[in-house]
Amino acid sequence: MPVLQSGTVLVRTQASVISTGTEEVQNRETRLPLLMKAWQRPDLVALVLQKWRQDGLQATRHAVRNRLNRPLPAGYSCAGMIEAVAPDITDLQTGQLVACGGIGHARHAQWNVVPRHLVCPVPDGVSADNAAFATLTAIALHALQQGEVIIGCQIAVIGCGLIGQLVIETANAAGARVMAIDPQTSRCDFARQGGATETSENAGSVPVTEQYDAVLICAPDPDGSMIDQAVRLCRDRAIIVCVGNVAIRANRETLYRKDITIRQVRSYGPGRYDPQYEQHGIDYPIGYVRWTINRNMQTALDLMARGRINPSRLITQRLPIQDAARAFELANPTPLAILIEYPDTPTPPQTASPIPTPKPAQTKRNSGIIHIGLIGAGNYAGGVLVSHLRQNKNVRITAISSPDGLAAQGIARQIGDAAATSNNQAILNDSDTDAVIIASRHNSHAALTVQALEAGKHVWVEKPLCLDLAQLESIQNTHANHPGLILMVGHNRRHAPMAQTILNYLPNGPKHFTYHVRIHPLPAGHWLHHRGQGGRVLGEISHFIDLLQYFANNPIQNLHCHWINRQDDICLWRVVFQDGSVGDIHYGQAGHRSIAKERLEIIATDTTIVLTNWQKLHIRSPKGNLTRRHWLKPDKGHTGIIADFIRTLSEDSTTDQHEITLYRHILNALANPA
């Protein structure tokens, strides 16, 4: 059961619709051999090769395996009853029937957590069966808006699958005349029931005397042959709307002579793929964007309420949720619309999902096994931390949590005997769990750290420890009340073998450090861009400052941040240590891709050290000269920091709590940039 979050509602699903065309393609693509997936996504292959060069074969293999083994939620159109509402949503209430949309939100699942703009109240008189089609109907409405279809228009619809049928029915409700084109006679019959005035088995048999204001291609067309067929049906200056997966290839001469406009439909309307709209609830003003996802869904439901459309007539198959996997095994012809039905009394929500009892041999405290719960199941947790934790024979991962439970389930399957949950409290309440590793999103770190300490757990928290000074004070006070508990931040670089080698060659006295850190821009919709996450710099900069402090072996005296370009996360940090050592960290300037991602130069008395990407190390010093290379397996200290954490727990020893002071310096520097 997913966890209610800010700006969302918890919905108990009553009905969901399988979009057979879209979901069958997704289902097939996930089962393709790895080489075929690589052929279809060369952009991801490029990222894999880049990671291989930077981090080596083993780290790349773990990251790829984690991504490939992660379950993907199915479904994006459903209806159900609201069971809980986040405090910041005031216009919805529990017990209300709503239509839901969105991949990853309106899933084929008994329980869904859905953001506000992807939820619409269902008017009186509209059944859950019909409401479950709201998102799919929004696609049809967006297609008609792209085609500028109004009363009296003549349009042709090529492909009368589920979306095509909804386009026909909504176009008829808008007062347009519709020609339906599909090779399947049964689908043409459905189209006539939905209001099509004429039907044809193929576009080539439609008389050229027919001239249409818009042609909507609702069938897959990977080779682009349908564009020319659509042009043939168009009047001068008509519009071709690509609703399905259409490759846009056509004869320029025919497009030119009729001055044809080609438009693409992007899902359910404006707002799709915009995290500010979908995830963070920032609406577009109606005077500037008349039709958004939510307004399209509202219109679809209104048409149902007034009896202008009746999508449930398209249901050709009903399956209970426990048999839903059979949907893609049904015989041809493919069902037009498959409705998944859910029990009236589903599994009740749990305040804490149960953690299975570990095997008796592993529960003994004198066994030397440390039981760890992992909170967070993202790329770093699944692709880096889990692989290193599993290599340590003194560690057993008891449970993993993620907000929807799905990512946690993917990691739990890899481990074999770990539990997956969506409720962090289940891990914190488990008496057998010795320590927790917090690798969730940044805005949750401080609160989870406090909760874990209060629950009597040792804590490893990934960067950043917190986002502001108030959170830091809360952590410090809580930890002071539990002095026997270990609190460690995941600053792994000081534990790398090359870092240990450098420390052995460094002389006493002041040193000068120059650290260049080159970053790659994040995608526009990445969660780190949201202001509530503290930003990328706060999430990473402590890594490099901590490493310099390790080499200086002195407390920080002053720390300053100078922003070169705050929007692009480009900044210069200067850290001064009490012994006079000075470090300059150049963070974020991309530079040419041939330049190392990380390059550290250390100048000390008669000593010069250059570390490049944790792959090459050059040392010139009175203690001797050294050149070391690790091309295949760069080690950034993940194995070492995990071993140190486990050793500290096993020996009931304490750790240097310099992280609190470090973050105080960083937060002050960000609040008062130079």
* Section 519-533 average pLDDT: 85
In angstroms, the CA 609 to CA 654 distance is 31
Give pLDDT, residue 634: 82
Q: What dotted CATH number matches 139-264?
A: 3.40.50.720
**Share of residues in the chain with pLDDT > 90 (%):** 68
Numbered ranges of CATH 3.40.50.720 in the chain:
139-264, 367-488
pLDDT digits (tens, 9 = 90+) for 396-441: 999 999 998 889 998 998 888 899 999 999 999 999 999 999 999 9
Class level of CATH domain 367-488: alpha beta
Q: What is the 3-state secondary structure (H, E, C) of 356-390?
A: CCCCHHHHCHHHCCEEEEEECCCHHHHHHHHHHHH
pLDDT at 159 > cutoff 90: yes
pLDDT at 182 > cutoff 70: yes
Range with the poorest average pLDDT among 126-140, 267-281, 443-457, 493-507: 267-281
Average pLDDT, the chain: 89
Superfamily of 493-636 according to CATH: Dihydrodipicolinate Reductase; domain 2 (3.30.360.10)
pLDDT bracket for residue 364 (50, 70, 90) = very low
pLDDT bracket for residue 524 (50, 70, 90) = confident
Q: DSSP secondary structure string, 90-153?
A: -S--TT-EEEEE-TTTS-SSSEEEEEGGGEEEPPTT--HHHHTTHHHHHHHHHHHHHTT--TT-
pLDDT digits (tens, 9 = 90+) for 287-325: 999 999 999 999 999 999 999 999 999 999 999 999 988
Give pLDDT, residue 204: 83
pLDDT at 260 > cutoff 70: yes
Superfamily of 8-19+75-132+275-341 according to CATH: Medium-chain alcohol dehydrogenases, catalytic domain (3.90.180.10)
Give pLDDT, residue 451: 97
Give pLDDT, residue 333: 61
pLDDT bracket for residue 362 (50, 70, 90) = very low
* Section 236-263 average pLDDT: 91
- Paired with 221 in beta bridges are 246
pLDDT bracket for residue 363 (50, 70, 90) = very low
| Residue-wise burial string across 546-557, b where 16 or more C-beta atoms lie within 10 A, e elsewhere | bbbbbbbeeebe
Range with the poorest average pLDDT among 126-130, 232-236, 344-348, 501-505: 344-348
pLDDT at 62 > cutoff 70: no
Numbered ranges of CATH 3.30.360.10 in the chain:
493-636
- Paired with 396 in beta bridges are 371
Residue 575, classed as helix, strand or coil, is strand
* Section 235-264 average pLDDT: 91
Calculate the CA dihedral of residues 55, 56, 58, 64 and round it to 10 degrees: 60
